[in-house]
Amino acid sequence: MRRKHRDLRVWQAAVELVENVYQITAAFPREEAFGLTSQMRRAAVSVPANIAEGAARSGTKELLHFLSIASGSLSELDTLVEIAERIQLIKGPNKLTTDIDQVFALLNGLSISLKRKLKN
């Protein structure tokens, strides 16, 4: 069975984002293990997981549905990163915001392309 999700640039970028989230949250205080650390990691992992699940489905509408779920998880992660920055768990420049913006752009671009395909 071919795993076509691995060919999607959005999936690749989302997996890179997960790696970065794990690296940054590894430095969070222990008392955050079941708080922001866990929430950020789960939200991040949900993004490529939903892209992969959607890509494995049989139809374009199903893929769009899972891309929408991935976008929701990405929005959740974006909010959690903002909170972590505001409470000084993340200090100084980091790649997360740039990575999140990149994945948002790729998700949006793929969704627009698929919606056009459905119309035609």
Residue pLDDT, tens place only, 74-106: 999 999 999 999 999 998 788 999 999 999 999
pLDDT at 2: 67
Identify which of 117, 20, 115, 116 has the alpha carbon closest to the alpha carbon of residue 68: 115
Q: What is the SS3 assignment for 27? A: coil
The CATH number of whichever domain residue 22 belongs to comes to 1.20.1440.60
Distances (CA, A) of 66 to 28, 40, 45, 60, 115: 30, 19, 14, 10, 13
Residue-number span of the structural domain to which 60 is assigned: 4-119
pLDDT at 93: 80
Task: Report residues of the chain scoring pLDDT below 50.
Answer: none
- Predicted structure pTM score: 0.94
Report, in angstroms and rounded to the nearest whole number, the Rg of the chain calculated over CA atoms: 15
Identify which of 86, 81, 11 has the alpha carbon closest to the alpha carbon of residue 43: 81
**Can you say how many angstroms the Cα of residue 28 is from the centroid of all Cα atoms in its chain?**
20
pLDDT at 33: 85
Based on the structure, what is the number of domains in the chain?
1
Distance CA 14, CA 64 (A): 16
